Structure 1
Amino acid sequence: MFLVTGATGTVGQEVVRHFPADLPVRIMVRDPARAAFAGRAAQTVTGDHGDPRSLAGALTGVRVAFLVTSRVGGDDDARFLRAARAAGVRRVVKLSAAAVLDPRADDLITRWQRANEELLRASGLEWTLLRPRAFMSNTLSWAGSIRSEGVVRALYGMAANSCVDPRDIATVAIRAMTGETHAGRAYTLTGPVALTAVEQTKQLGRLLGTPLRFAELSPYEARALLARRHPAPVVDALLESAARTRDGAKTRVDDTVREVTGRPAGTFAAWAERHVSAFAPR
Structure 2
Amino acid sequence: MILVTGATGTVGREVLRRIGPRPAVRVMARKPERVTAVPGTVEAVHGDYDDPDSLARAVRGVDTALLVTSRVGRDDDARFLRAARSAGVRHVVKLSAAAVEDDRADDLITRWQRENEETLRGSGMEWTLLRPRSFMSNTLSWAGPVRAEGVVRGLYGTSANACVDPADIAEVAVRALTEFGHAGRVHTLTGPEALTAVEQTAQLSALLGRPLRFEEWEPDQARVLWSTRHPAAVVEALLQSAERQRAGAKAGVGNTVREVAGRPARSFRQWAGEHLAAFTPH
TM range (shorter): over 0.9
Query: Corresponding residue for 1:40?
Result: 40
Query: Corresponding residue for 1:135?
Result: 135
**Deviation of the 1:33 alpha carbon:** 2.6
1:36 and 1:270 map into 2 onto residues whose CA distance is 24
Q: When the two structures are superposed, what TM-score results if normalisation uses the length of structure 1?
A: 0.99
Matched residue type, 1:66:
L
Does 1:270 find its partner at 2:270?
Answer: yes
Share of identical aligned residues, percent? 66
Query: Corresponding residue for 1:115?
Result: 115
1:273 and 1:48 map into 2 onto residues whose CA distance is 36
1:150-202 deviation digits (Å, cap 9, x = unpaired): 00001000000000000000000010011110000001000000000000001
Q: 4+ residue runs of structure 1 moved beyond 3 angstroms?
A: none
**Deviation of the 1:224 alpha carbon:** 1.3
Moved more, 38-47 or 188-197: 38-47
1:185 and 1:9 map into 2 onto residues whose CA distance is 24
Matched residue type, 2:281:
P
1:173 and 1:185 map into 2 onto residues whose CA distance is 12
1:62 and 1:252 map into 2 onto residues whose CA distance is 36
1:17 and 1:129 map into 2 onto residues whose CA distance is 21
**Deviation of the 1:24 alpha carbon:** 1.2
* Corresponding pairs, count: 282
Cα 1:207–1:66 change in 2 (3 A) is same
- How big is the alpha-carbon RMSD for the aligned residues of Structure 1 and Structure 2? 0.8
Query: Corresponding residue for 1:200?
Result: 200
Does 1:15 find its partner at 2:15?
Answer: yes
Matched residue type, 2:242:
A
1:65 and 1:180 map into 2 onto residues whose CA distance is 14
Q: When the two structures are superposed, what TM-score results if normalisation uses the length of structure 2?
A: 0.99
- For the residue of structure 1 that corresponds to 2:62, the secondary structure is coil
In structure 1, runs of 5+ residues without a counterpart are none
Matched residue type, 2:125:
L
1:14 and 1:228 map into 2 onto residues whose CA distance is 28
2:276 and 2:34 map into 1 onto residues whose CA distance is 23
Q: Contact (CA 8 Å) 2:161, 2:245: kept in 1 or not?
A: yes
- For the residue of structure 2 that corresponds to 1:56, the secondary structure is helix
2:221 and 2:106 map into 1 onto residues whose CA distance is 23
In structure 2, runs of 5+ residues without a counterpart are none
**Deviation of the 1:40 alpha carbon:** 2.2
1:19 and 1:109 map into 2 onto residues whose CA distance is 29
